[in-house]
A and B are shown apart, each in its own frame.
Chain A
Amino acid sequence: MKFSKSFALSVVCAAILAGCGGDDGKNGIDGTNGADGADGTNGVSVLVTSADVITTNAQHAYAVYSDSLIAAKALKEQLEVFVAAPTDENFTKAKEAWLDAREPYGQSEVYRFREGPIDALTKNEEGSWTLVPDEGPEGRINAWPLAEALIDYTISMGGTELPEDATNLSLGGNLIASENENYAAINRELLTKVAQESDPETVQSAFAFGSDDRNVRSGYHAIEFLLWGQDLNGNGKYEAQRDYTAGHRKASDYFTDVGTCTSEGIVQTEERTCTRRGQYLLESAKLLVEDLNNVTDAWTPGQGFHYMAFTHADNTQSALNKILTGMGELSLGELSAERIQKSYDANSQEDEHSCFSDNTHRDIYLNAKGIQNTFLGEYTRFSGEALAGASLYDLLVVKGHAELANKLRAALEDTMAKASVIDTTAKLGSSFDIQIQENEFRPAIKATMDALAAQTNVIEEVMATLEVTNP
């Protein structure tokens, strides 16, 4: 894979030089330097084309999914170490690996909502990869709210609002503790199964039919839950007034020596439960790596089937539409409305994205960052390597819409400034679930939602200007 940094630089030069004479770049390095060069067409650079922007976008998709995959593999290895030797130190490392894995993935979400591999990758009847709307792996990778009560022990968080008492009632027992023969093996099937008519009633009840009717029990958030547990207060209770702590799961939930395995903070006689919990953890990680691997493959420059289709010369308008649609949909409907407004309005912990680990501030920041990355044609890899390519910003300038280019750049910067407040507040100890309930912090959250809405307006203006609203 090649990321042309010098190319990006020349784009910037060309944009600056446009209109004031100089080499238009069409002859490459054979062109004449600086003011001595000939003007481009009408004095405007023609260097950055739609195709360049699309190629950059596709290459950066590969980079961000590769990073997600690398980090998920690292997480999987760390989990294997932890399950084999469940020490506090290994437990901490496993949790850190999970947090690390979220960093690239959060930035990849701008590639959603555009019928790309993450939402649509599946195998057809002949067994080859294809895209079918809503059949992709995203639901297995990052869906939430998780059906955590179906996976492992929980206490009712509704205790203060609803009359149920979890000690009396459970969702048919959870899969990890279950001794039901239908759930004997903890494997891919258990994590992804969709119920069939031929299944027993209990299995149907647990797994339901069809992807729209699912109980989420795999992906990042399943792993998160199995590492942190429910985000209860420090006293182990669910209370209306939340404290700053994340979930309090203990490493001893993975102890397999006789008489050491814990659930709900106490030693259970059954080591089997802890063994199965470890299996569930590893199986979730395995599935995550597998799914991310497939998505990454589809984006492989020069050979991935989606990369080839997306960058094909015939698909320029639809590809630009997809890039901007992903930016717009993530900005408003997903990030601002569903991921922020809903928990903000409802003061609902359940609706925050990473509720077990209290990492929602990063989800918000990284999602917004991904949108900005796309517009600027930039992405800083997990390794620290900064990638830059032809950007939508450049394209707008080249097409004579410098003002609009700056307008969107400013809108995105404004959002990042606002999202940074949420991020920093959380890093200083007040996690997102505290921020939504404290009047002191709520204005910053509202400001982020408003900034996201404002940037969506400009994104739509860009779509109209580039005439890609209806490709």
Chain B
Amino acid sequence: MRRTAEAPAEEPRTVSGHDRPPDRATTVEVVGVGHAFGALAVIDRLDLGVGAGEVVGLVGPSGCGKSTLLELVAGLLEPDGGSVRVGGQGAAPERLARCAYMPQRDLLLPWLSAIDNAALGPRNRGASRADARRAAAPLFERFGLGGFERSRPSELSGGMRQRVAFLRTLLAGKPVLLLDEPFASLDAITRAEMQEWLAAAIAAQARSVLMVSHDVEEVLYLCDRVVVLSPRPARAVAELRAPAPRARPRDETVAATDFGAVRERALRALREGAR
């Protein structure tokens, strides 16, 4: 059974002060949004919603405006037209306050240890270095980074850097997670491992997630619902429900026949959207 927004299957766990269960305040609403950079239209009258506690994936061809859409939701950009609301609030500072954004590159600061990188959010909110590390330490243990707290980013593998970047996003302590191609830079094996890792990490969190990818299989495996976008300017051309509940072993999930069927539908939508 798919879990619904009102009744999360997992006990909502808290990371940094978010002890409320997900409610209406965690919802992303994108209505009729258009955006252009100069004469280049990147998004065209796009509608999109993310329910509380829901994990939504966006797939589309490269350069179709997926990252721009995340930046619009995050409050880093203002749309040219339409409205973006997060938790019912439309102003950019309100969106920034509610969204944690994980960019494509890990963007770890090379002069900080892994744990200090992960704890940047609490530090910025005024926590002392020791308190911020105390908040981050249990996540390092839980998400397979135990023992690497003091490592410099240059000493970590690509997959581990990506995990640290994800923990940094979690520790931002926001109800909405925006993930921009979280594993685009990893090799296929690491990528499959990280997808499983992320599925478990998201399942352990009571957050709404909007993630972007150009990999259909990745989003179908990780998300409840997948929206297929057309090439630039991006429109929603199809919407698909993921065939299996989240956070199951990856191999089993992607090998199932119904998974293959949905993947084919998504790929067909991508191809048709490109015409």
Q: Do A and B bind each other?
A: no
- On A, residues with C-beta under 8 Å from B are none
- On B, residues with C-beta under 8 Å from A are none
